[in-house]
A and B are shown apart, each in its own frame.
Chain A
């Protein structure tokens, strides 16, 4: 897993901090929002005009720019559907992951 962090996670044992004080997490879960998404956005490339409204509204910032359309990074997209709801061109459709 890639990391943007410049420093390693805090190690309570090395720092001599008891493990029964403030609850802290020092292991990052490998799970991403895409692992539990139930609906997936699908972009109609003919309708997309690259207005970037989806990019503006996406709460997890998973919108990625392509040459002629905007698409979603499906590893981090949680399937909330805000992009489909906000798209002025109705270019985004939410489809069931299970049936896809």
Chain B
């Protein structure tokens, strides 16, 4: 049960111990959404239970709509956003799959809805455990997708997500990707920001300035476009191009919002790509999400043993931060990319596949390998990352493996 409260009388920072799902719920309350819509049972997490409790306890003044399925959940929020509301939901796995039709439409209608994906592996094989497969499957649908490393980062990023989504140069929905099990149920010490300071950070809400369900401003929302005649082709291209531009603008806005958040609240996260011990690194690991903690420990130990290894952690996966990644890879001689999901078509991890495109921009050949671990809730330990470091080091001497390395194959 929730023991946290948002009230605070002193000016001292407030610390609580909570799980990632509760941290996300507290952040949602701090961002003051007008409507939260959820499908309340499986596949759902305790996240929306925490949100519902905050509403029931009178600490979050939002309408909560228990819809009959995720397809309706997102459709409800589209209406709420078009009516001017700040909107939020959370889902995962099969729920995200059932949401797909309105999910595609949300980014096309440029509605700044924030949705937490408590990431879960794809079924079948049947499982209810964590993995990035669900979020990775929808990485090409025009949503901004940001992955968190810690419970504190879940709270801070969820607040920032609303500001990023609603920025007028962006106007795109945002997924905050929270590693299922490891972050969603992982409990740590968390600092909860002051409500007044969050209010000042968020500024004035204005989410339906571009399109609205408003009798005072009559317009037809989402009319038919495209086709081969008249203004069809040019209008469709104009909107699609605008979406792509919004994604590119997001790279700048995400950086600016992180900088402002750091100034106001004192917590600084690399917005796009984090470099960990990359100065003078000969080889680099690439990581995503909560696995990065174990990877950092392994790198610290390997550094002590004389291996010049660093980590390039992706925080913003969509839009893919190509320039930031190219800059981070710098002079490395080999890269080992660790994914928590698979790219079936390329027989590797999705992040590895994306990185190959970035390497082309880098303009020189860098030996690289794909590592897949942590599927369906499997643990990724320091030992696993030592293996990644050893195999990546071996790449410098020409040992290339044909397929991915499955880190939990013998666990």
B211 touches A20 (CB 8 A): no
Is B108 engaged at the interface, CB distance under 8 Å to the other chain?
yes
- Looking at A7, A18, A22, A25, which has the most chain B CB atoms within 10 Å of its CB? A22
A8 to B218, CA, bound (A): 7
* Least distance between B392 CB and chain A CB atoms (Å): 43
| B214 nearest in chain A by CB position | A10
B209 touches A15 (CB 8 A): yes
A9 touches B242 (CB 8 A): no
Is A68 engaged at the interface, CB distance under 8 Å to the other chain?
no
Partner-contacting stretch, out of B154-162, B221-229, B291-299? B221-229
Is B219 engaged at the interface, CB distance under 8 Å to the other chain?
yes
**Across-interface contacts of A8 in B (CB, < 8 A):** 218
Is B200 engaged at the interface, CB distance under 8 Å to the other chain?
no
Is A1 engaged at the interface, CB distance under 8 Å to the other chain?
no
Q: Name the contact of A22 in the complex, choosing from B211, B218, B241 (C-beta under 8 A).
A: B211
Within 8 A of B (CB), among A71-93: none
**Across-interface contacts of B209 in A (CB, < 8 A):** 15, 17
B211 touches A7 (CB 8 A): no
A21 to B238, CA, bound (A): 9
A20 touches B225 (CB 8 A): no
Is B104 engaged at the interface, CB distance under 8 Å to the other chain?
no
Residues 1-27 of chain A, each 1 if its beta carbon lies under 8 Å from chain B, else 0: 000011111101001011111111110
A10 touches B210 (CB 8 A): no
Residues 42-74 of chain A, each 1 if its beta carbon lies under 8 Å from chain B, else 0: 000000000000000000000000000000000
B111 touches A20 (CB 8 A): no
Number of residue pairs spanning A and B whose beta carbons lie under 8 angstroms apart: 62
| A27 nearest in chain B by CB position | B220
A5 to B217, CA, bound (A): 10
* Least distance between B408 CB and chain A CB atoms (Å): 44
A22 to B220, CA, bound (A): 11
* Least distance between A74 CB and chain B CB atoms (Å): 25
B217 touches A22 (CB 8 A): no
| A9 nearest in chain B by CB position | B218
A7 to B219, CA, bound (A): 11
Size bin of chain A's contact surface: 10 to 19
A23 touches B223 (CB 8 A): yes
Is B245 engaged at the interface, CB distance under 8 Å to the other chain?
yes
A94 to B109, CA, bound (A): 40
Within 8 A of A (CB), among B101-119: 108-111
B218 touches A21 (CB 8 A): no
A22 touches B109 (CB 8 A): yes
| B216 nearest in chain A by CB position | A7
* Least distance between A19 CB and chain B CB atoms (Å): 7
**Across-interface contacts of A23 in B (CB, < 8 A):** 108-109, 221-223, 225, 235, 239
B222 touches A22 (CB 8 A): yes
Is B215 engaged at the interface, CB distance under 8 Å to the other chain?
yes
Within 8 A of A (CB), among B225-272: 225, 235, 238-239, 241-242, 245-246
Residues 300-327 of chain B, each 1 if its beta carbon lies under 8 Å from chain A, else 0: 0000000000000000000000000000
Q: Name the contact of B210 in the complex, choosing from A6, A9, A21, A25 (C-beta under 8 A).
A: A21
| B244 nearest in chain A by CB position | A20
A22 touches B221 (CB 8 A): yes
B223 touches A21 (CB 8 A): no
Q: Name the contact of A21 in the complex, choosing from B110, B217, B235 (C-beta under 8 A).
A: B110
**Across-interface contacts of A15 in B (CB, < 8 A):** 209, 217
Residues 31-51 of chain A, each 1 if its beta carbon lies under 8 Å from chain B, else 0: 000000000000000000000
**Across-interface contacts of B217 in A (CB, < 8 A):** 7, 10, 15
A6 to B219, CA, bound (A): 13
A100 to B197, CA, bound (A): 72
* Least distance between B17 CB and chain A CB atoms (Å): 42
B210 touches A17 (CB 8 A): yes
* Least distance between A82 CB and chain B CB atoms (Å): 24
Binding site for A on B (CB under 8 A): 108-111, 171, 209-212, 215-223, 225, 235, 238-239, 241-242, 245-246
Interface pairs A-B: 5 shortest CB-CB: A20-B242, A25-B220, A22-B211, A25-B223, A10-B219
Binding site for B on A (CB under 8 A): 5-10, 12, 15, 17-26
Known: A15-B217, A23-B108. 12 other contacts (CB 8 A): A7-B215, A7-B217, A9-B218, A17-B210, A20-B241, A20-B242, A21-B210, A22-B109, A22-B171, A23-B235, A24-B210, A24-B221
**CB-defined A-B contacts under 8 Å, sample of 22:** A7-B215, A7-B216, A7-B218, A8-B218, A10-B217, A15-B209, A15-B217, A19-B238, A20-B241, A20-B245, A21-B211, A22-B109, A22-B222, A23-B108, A23-B221, A23-B223, A24-B211, A24-B220, A24-B222, A24-B223, A25-B220, A25-B223
